């Protein structure tokens, strides 16, 4: 059993090396190492990663300051955990309208506790189509080269 946990820990570390790489090139290299190392042991997981490879590396096309937010699903998970907990506690809480009202109120309350996006001033650039490579803005001179 302990061997299983050790192997999982190594695989988890290898996954972290993929998405914590400072550049897309480094991330792709770590991705290939992961596939080579774990394809036989975890064929379904590796097939899933290969299928979604392009999407997995999309965050490199955003400002580096946003990567922490892009890499996490915690705000979503935390909000839905709160809603799930409350709706379980009040099972049979009445009509559909009452349940939807409660869910809305819980979600708006949870929203107030969210941390502000780091680098929020960069959102306008993202919306306006400014190109980013490895988290850095690509200047016009670099686009031509």
Q: Could you give the 3-state DSSP secondary structure of residue 117?
A: coil
Task: Name which residue leads in pLDDT, 44 or 144.
Answer: 44
% of the chain beyond a pLDDT of 70: 92
List of residues 6+ apart from 118 with CB closer than 8 A: 65, 66, 68, 69
Average pLDDT over residues 24-33: 96
Separate counts of helices (H) and strands (E) for the chain: 9, 2
What b/e sequence results for 72-87 when a residue is b if at least 16 CB atoms lie within 10 Å of its CB, and e otherwise? Answer: eeeeeeebeebbeeee
56 pLDDT exceeds 80? Answer: yes
89 pLDDT exceeds 80? Answer: no
Please state which of the ranges 31-45, 60-74, 83-97 shows the lowest mean pLDDT. Answer: 83-97
Average pLDDT over residues 98-114: 83
The model scores a pTM over 0.75: no
pLDDT tier, 1 (very low <50, low <70, confident <90, very high otherwise): very low
Highest-pLDDT range among 75-89, 91-105, 120-134: 120-134
């Amino acid at each position: 059993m302990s061997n299983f946990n050790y192997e999982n820990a190594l695989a988890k570390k290898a996954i972290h090396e993929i998405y914590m790489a400072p550049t897309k090139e480094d991330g792709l290299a770590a991705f290939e190492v992961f596939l080579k190392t774990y394809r036989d042991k975890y064929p379904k997981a590796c097939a899933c990663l290969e299928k979604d490879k392009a999407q997995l590396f999309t965050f490199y096309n955003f400002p580096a300051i946003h990567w922490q937010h892009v890499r996490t699903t915690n705000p979503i998970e935390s909000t839905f955990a709160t809603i799930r907990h409350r709706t379980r506690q009040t099972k049979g809480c009445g009509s559909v309208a009452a349940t939807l009202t409660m869910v809305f109120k819980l979600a708006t309350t949870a929203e107030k506790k969210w941390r502000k996006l780091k680098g929020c001033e960069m959102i306008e650039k993202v919306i306006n189509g400014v190109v980013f490579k490895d988290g850095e803005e690509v200047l016009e001179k670099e686009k031509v080269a």
